[in-house]
Amino acid sequence: MTNLTLTMGDITEQKADAVVNAANSSLLGGGGVDGAIHRRGGPGILEECKALRAADYAAGLPAGQAVATTAGRLPARWVIHTVGPVWSDTEDRSSTLASCYSESLRVADELGARTVAFPAISTGVYRWPLADAARIALSTVRAARTENVTEARFVLFGQEAHDVFAETLRALEQGAD
C-alpha cells in the first residue's frame, strides 16, 4: 500500500524519484508548477517534451493522461507530466481529475519509482476549488494499488492549501474507520 504524506513547500525542491507536473496539453511549458519545473529543471525537460510532441503526442497530451520525461537538474529522476481539467461550473470533470492521479501513479509504478511528489493539480490557473480537489486527489491516491510506489507525497504551496489537504485527509480517514 502507498503511504500518503503531506508537506508544504515547492515541488521543484522535493527529493523524490518522480515529481508530477501540472502541465498543459501543449507540454511546452506554462505558469505555476509547470513554469517552475522547467525553470529549475533546465532545458533537458523541454527537449524531451518537444520530442514527445513530435512522436506520440502530435495533438498534445489529453487531460487526465500522464507521460514521463527526465527531471533534468531537479533532485528527482523523472518528471511525470499530467494535464488537469479546467474547472467547470456546468460540467462534472471529477473523473478526469482523478485520472491525473491514477495515471501518474501508474506511470510512476511502471518506471519503478518508489517515491512520487504531487502538486494540487488544477487548483491554480485551472481554478478547481481546493477542498473538492483535495477530496478527489486524496481519495484517488488512497484507493490506488501500486507495485513499486511506497510513498505518494502531496506538496502544498502555502499554509491554506496544506490545511485544506490535512483536514480532508483526516475526514477521509475517519470515514474509513
DSSP 146: -
Shortest CB 148 distance to ligand ADP, Å? 23
Residue number, 57 or 128, with CB nearest to ligand ADP: 128
The helix (H) or strand (E) run that includes residue 163 is helix 159-176
**Helix-strand-coil split of the chain, %, nearest 5:** 40, 20, 35
Q: List residues binding ligand ADP (CB under 6 A).
A: 10-12, 22, 31-34, 36, 84, 119-126, 155, 157, 161
Nearer to ligand ADP, 36 or 71 (CB): 36
Instruction: Please state the closest distance from residue 131 (CB atom) to ligand ADP, in A.
Output: 12
92 carries an active-site annotation: no
Least Cβ distance, residue 100 to ligand ADP (angstroms)? 9
Residue 171 burial (C-beta neighbours within 10 Å; 0-12, 13-18, 19+): middle
C-alpha cell belonging to residue 123 = 487548483
Q: How far is the CB of 96 from ligand ADP (least distance, A)?
A: 11
Residue closer to ligand ADP, measured from CB, 149 or 161:
161
CA distance 176 to 173: 5
Q: For residue 80, is it left (φ>0), alpha (ψ between -120 and 50) or beta?
A: beta
Q: Residue 11 or residue 61: which is nearer to ligand ADP going by CB?
A: 11
The active-site residue, picked from 10, 34, 89, 163, is 34
Task: For residue 6, give the 3-state DSSP assignment.
Answer: strand
Active site amino acids? 34
